[in-house]
Chain A
Amino acid sequence: MSALPIGLPLETGGAPSRFRALEIVTTRGQRRGRPRLVVAIVTVAGLFAILAAQLLLSIATSEGAYEISSLQARQSELARDQQVMAESLRVLEAPQHLSAEAQAMGMVANSSAAYLRLVDGAVLGVPAAASASAALRTADDGSSLIPNSLLSEVPLVAVPGQTGATDAPGEGPVGAPAAPGEPSTPPTVPAGIPTPTTH
């Protein structure tokens, strides 16, 4: 390696002006190809924007995870509520329960087969009044002959002997506006039994 110093532009005569004029002139193509500042700024800013968006998005997602989690917990609790109610409804629907309720209200099943035909008011079959002996028989301990252990802790809504017009004359059953003492005659419809007009 030779350490030959490049001659400094010494002020030697008129030569300096010639050196100063010697500048590398970039071509137009080179100038166009040079990276522009604005592009760099846009790129870096875009990068930061993407990073920030990703960060925000992931924060939002994890926030959502908490929300989903709490909503799922709520959904499962509500599903349990629904299930508990559906279960108790099914048990209350059991024929043993319904019949015991009806009997506690003073009702018995009528075993005669008779119908009222609405079109002309004709009575089909031979109607007969039900008797108290038609009441359902129960086992000695008062439980149903057709047992259902699910009903053992379901109390009857109707209290035996407390409902029905004969047992409680002062408080007639709901929907019976007739005053006590009034003879109970069936309602008369002047123009026969109303029927819908069908085509």
Chain B
Amino acid sequence: MTPPRQTRRRLALALLSLFAVFSIFVVRLVDIQLVRADELNTDSTNKRAIGVTTYAARGDIVDKDGSVLAGSVMRFDITVSPRTVIEAYRDAEAETLLDAAAGIAAITGQTTDEVMRAVMADPESDFAYIAKAVTTEQMRQIRALEIPGVIPSQHPIRIYPGGSVAGNLVGFVGTDGPQNGLEYTENDCLASTNGTSTYERGADGIRLPGSTVTTQPAVEGGTITTTIDSDLNWSVQQMIAEQGLAIGASSALAMVTEVSTGKLLTVADWPSVDPNNRDATPPEYLGSLAFSAAYEPGSIFKPMTASMLLDQGVASPTTQVTVPSRWTSPEGSVIKDAAAHAEQRLTLAGVIQQSSNVGISQLATRLPSGMRYDYMTAFGVGERTEVDFQGESKGLLASRWDDQQKYDVAYGQGVSTSLAQVSSIYQTLGNGGVRMPLTLVSSCTGPDGIVVDPAPVEGARVVSEAAADTTVQMMEGVVTGGGLARELQIPGYRVAAKSGTAEVSENGRYTSKRVVSIAGLAPAEDPKYAVVVMFVNPGTMKTSAAAAPTFKKIMTKVLTTYRVTPSTTPPPALPTTW
């Protein structure tokens, strides 16, 4: 039995239309699920999903005890949607837009006009800033006003709780990122990565459970631990500032180094930069002159010269030398002492005590220039220190010396060094002749607590222990019997020190400008700390007597801060004359 033809045709038609409809669905499905999938997904997520930035804080810079020198805190930018806020107050009777603006202005410290200008600059816009970087307290007050369209957004900023304490070292972060000091050079450790995530929210603004998707995890910055003792650094800054003002110096520097490790406990620069308010400081003082400025060090170089003579055995503390106040070398170069005097018969210890240029010149040339150059390089002269501070100077050490220079270098003229290099020389002498790498940053601790990049700790012997110890003993003679003895003695302690007054050359000629300095070690029987202090271009007092009282104050502060027991043995009495 076969169905009638009509039925069959109807069946075919139904099938065909069914197939057509099905095809349309398939095409549509492919279009939505495959062809336009991305676009549609994005569209839909954008309607529901809210993107949020998770701020990760830039790492801290801390001193050796963890006291924060540079840290991040949260501030808020007050943003507004002018379109929304204008709309909201269009028909309001009780409160006008002007009242709302006055409310915000009272909190942010702006004028109502300023707030109104920010809002009315582009009334159709959906985004404008009213105020930037307001505190949490201000943000909460503004939020409590419940003005439609006004939204605070988080914005971390950098603060320096100690102000200019070590400000010259820490540097600062500008609007375009880190710009100076450790903030700049240690940025790889300090930098953080802000994270992003999205979540979807319902009509009432509540986050839908389980809809948070982290697209980029936030990574906090690492912590830079310096070797600085911030309290001591402040004390020393205060001391050099007081004396700098008193003697009319243009700038002053001081460094305290731990002898056994080469760690810089203090690097004091005056004028000091307040990184919170850097515009107050002239640009030439924004960095650390202790690293970046090279001066002819002057007589504080003499102990180094003496130590190499002792190390090679060509001189001893009792080596005798006849010292006129003006001496002509065999090559015809002329060496003069700072003050005119009758002919003296000095030992090497006496040459150091009296700071005789003539005496040290005669003795220094017992060693060939090439050997002296090698010794100086081993002491760190002519090379950047391991700190490698931003803009650090190598100083200037010529590899070939002429007939005048080979004498001048012995007493620190014709060569230039940074104060950091001088610190390193005294650290070496105090540490029994072993030079430790000068350290300012001891480590970078990652956000996971793992210490990366610890500073090097391997020392290198420069002169023998006996040579170094004897040099320190000769420097004690400066404190017990030199011209500045009264200013340098610290009751209860044995102190070794050397003064320096160097002439400043400008355009190839020595001028009346001076750099006065004192470098020294205490306690002399077993040196623990090296202190160097320097005043540039003092106006009223142009000799190292200007630096001596400050050296004493700094050294006393260091000894008491670190509870160094007073000395129990008397200083050696090395003969200074014959």
Question: Are B164 and A137 closer than 8 Å at their CB atoms?
Answer: no
Q: Is B378 an interface residue (CB 8 A)?
A: no
Q: Is the CB of A84 within 8 A of B136?
A: yes
Chain A residue contacts of B376, Cβ below 8 A: none
Known: A64-B209, A65-B207, A69-B206. A147 touches B245 (CB 8 A): no
B505: Cβ under 8 A from any A Cβ = no
Q: Which residues of B contact A114 (CB under 8 A)?
A: 492
What is the distance, in angstroms, from A143's C-beta to the closest C-beta of chain B? Answer: 10
**In the assembled complex, B114 has its CB within 8 A of some CB on chain A:** no
Contact with B159, one of A65, A87, A93, A126 (Cβ below 8 angstroms): A87
Q: Are A145 and B557 in contact (CB under 8 A)?
A: no
Which residues from chain A contact B68 at a C-beta distance below 8 Å? 90
Q: Which residues of B contact A111 (CB under 8 A)?
A: 553, 556-557
Chain B's closest residue to A145 (CB) is B241
B-side interface size class: 35 or more
Q: List the A side residues contacting B272 at CB < 8 Å.
A: 146-147
Partner of B164 from the list A65, A90, A146 (CB cut-off 8 Å) is A146
Answer yes or no: B34 CB below 8 A from chain A CBs.
Answer: no
Contact A95 B492 (CB under 8 A): no
For chain A residues 116-149, which have a beta carbon within 8 Å of chain B? 124-126, 128, 136-137, 144-149
Contact A150 B165 (CB under 8 A): no
Question: Are A69 and B230 in touch, CB under 8 angstroms?
Answer: no
Option from A68, A80, A87, A94 in Cβ contact (under 8 Å) with B165: A94
Contact between A150 and B159, CB atoms less than 8 A apart: yes
Number of A interface residues at 8 Å Cβ cutoff, please give it. 37
Please state if B161 and A94 are interface contacts (CB–CB under 8 Å): yes
**B523 CB, min distance to chain A CBs, angstroms:** 11
Instruction: Identify A94's interface contact among B163, B208, B493, CB under 8 A.
Output: B163
The answer to whether A54 has its CB under 8 Å from any CB of chain B is no
- For residue B507, CB closer than 8 A to chain A, the reply is no
**Does chain B have a CB within 8 A of A112?**
yes
1/0 contact string of A82-114 vs chain B (CB within 8 Å): 011001001101111001000000000001111
What distance in Å separates the Cβ of A138 from its nearest Cβ neighbour in chain B? Answer: 10
- With an 8 A cutoff between CB atoms, is B483 at the interface? no
B residues near A69, Cβ cutoff 8 Å: 206-207
Within the complex, which residue of A61, A64, A147 is in contact with B274, where a contact is CB–CB below 8 Å? A147
Tell whether, in the assembled complex, residue A95 and residue B231 are in contact, meaning their CB atoms are under 8 Å apart: yes
Residue in B163, B206, B231, B491 with the greatest tally of chain A CB atoms within 10 Å: B163
Q: Say whether B161 contacts A150, CB under 8 Å.
A: yes
Contact of A112 among B162, B209, B245, B491 (CB under 8 A): B491
Are A146 and B163 in contact (CB-based, < 8 A)?
yes
- Flag if B492 contacts A126 (CB, 8 Å): yes
CA distance A151 to B159 in the complex (A): 12
Judged by a CB distance under 8 angstroms, whether B455 is at the interface is no
A66 interface residue, CB < 8 Å from B? Answer: yes
B interface, over-half SS: mixed
Q: B161 touching A91 by the CB < 8 A rule?
A: yes
A23 to B491, CA, bound (A): 130
Contact A148 B163 (CB under 8 A): yes
- How many angstroms from the CA of A87 to the CA of B68 in the assembled complex? 10
Q: Is A48 an interface residue, CB under 8 A from the partner?
A: no
- If A84-B137, A146-B241, A151-B163 touch, does A113 touch B566 (CB 8 Å cutoff)? yes
Interface flag for A166 (CB, 8 Å): no
Chain B residue with the shortest CB-CB distance to A65:
B209
Q: Which residues of A contact B164 (CB under 8 A)?
A: 146-148
A111 and B491 CA atoms in complex are apart in Å by 11
Closest approach, in angstroms, between the C-beta of B344 and any C-beta of chain A? 33
Tell me whether A95 and B162 are in contact (CB under 8 A): yes
CB distance from A27 to the nearest CB of B (A): 37
A interface footprint on B266-277 (CB within 8 Å = 1, 0 otherwise): 000000101011
> Which residues of chain A come closer than 8 Å to B490, judged between CB atoms?
113
Cβ–Cβ < 8 Å partners of B231 in chain A: 95
- Cα distance A37–B565 in the bound complex, in angstroms: 98
Q: Which residues of B contact A43 (CB under 8 A)?
A: none
Contacts of B73 in A (CB 8 A): 83, 87
User: Quick check: is A62 within 8 A (CB to CB) of the other chain?
Assistant: yes
* 113-169 of chain B: CB within 8 A of chain A: 135-137, 159-165
Closest chain A residue to B555, Cβ basis: A113
Q: Which residue from B238, B274, B276, B556 sits with its C-beta under 8 Å from A113?
A: B556
Report if A96-B74 is in contact (Cβ < 8 Å); known contacts: A115-B563, A137-B245. no
Question: In chain B between 234 and 248, which residues have their CB closer than 8 angstroms to a CB of chain A?
Answer: 234-235, 237-238, 241-242, 245
A83–B156 alpha-carbon span in the complex (Å): 12
Chain B residues contacting A151 (CB-CB under 8 Å) are 163
The answer to the question of B71 belonging to the interface, with a C-beta cut-off of 8 Å to chain A, is: yes
Kindly state the separation between the CA atoms of A136 and B241 in the bound complex, as whole angstroms.
11
Chain B, Cβ-Cβ closest to A151: B163
Give chain A residues whose Cβ lies under 8 Å from the Cβ of B397.
Answer: none
Q: Given A65-B208, A80-B74, A146–B234 Cβ distance below 8 Å?
A: yes
User: A139 to chain B: closest CB distance in Å?
Assistant: 9
Closest to B231 in A: A95
Q: Which residues on the A side are within 8 Å of B276 (C-beta)?
A: 148-150
Task: Say if the beta carbon of B340 comes within 8 Å of chain A.
Answer: no
The answer to whether B234 touches A147, judged by C-beta atoms less than 8 angstroms apart, is: no
Give the CA-CA distance A113 to B160 in the complex, in Å.
Answer: 31
At the interface, yes or no: B396 with Cβ under 8 Å from chain A? no
Residues from chain A with a CB closer than 8 A to the CB of B342 are: none
Tell me how far the C-beta of B368 lies from the nearest C-beta in chain A, rounded to whole angstroms: 44
15 contacts between A and B (CB under 8 A): A69-B207, A83-B73, A84-B136, A84-B137, A94-B162, A95-B165, A96-B165, A99-B238, A115-B565, A115-B566, A126-B492, A145-B238, A148-B162, A148-B163, A149-B276
Q: Which 9 A-B pairs have the closest CB atoms?
A: A148-B163, A126-B491, A125-B492, A90-B161, A149-B277, A95-B234, A145-B241, A65-B209, A125-B566
Q: A90-B159, A124-B565, A148-B164 are in contact. List 15 more A-B contacts (CB 8 A).
A: A65-B208, A91-B161, A93-B67, A94-B161, A95-B165, A96-B163, A96-B165, A96-B234, A111-B556, A112-B556, A147-B163, A148-B274, A149-B274, A149-B280, A150-B160
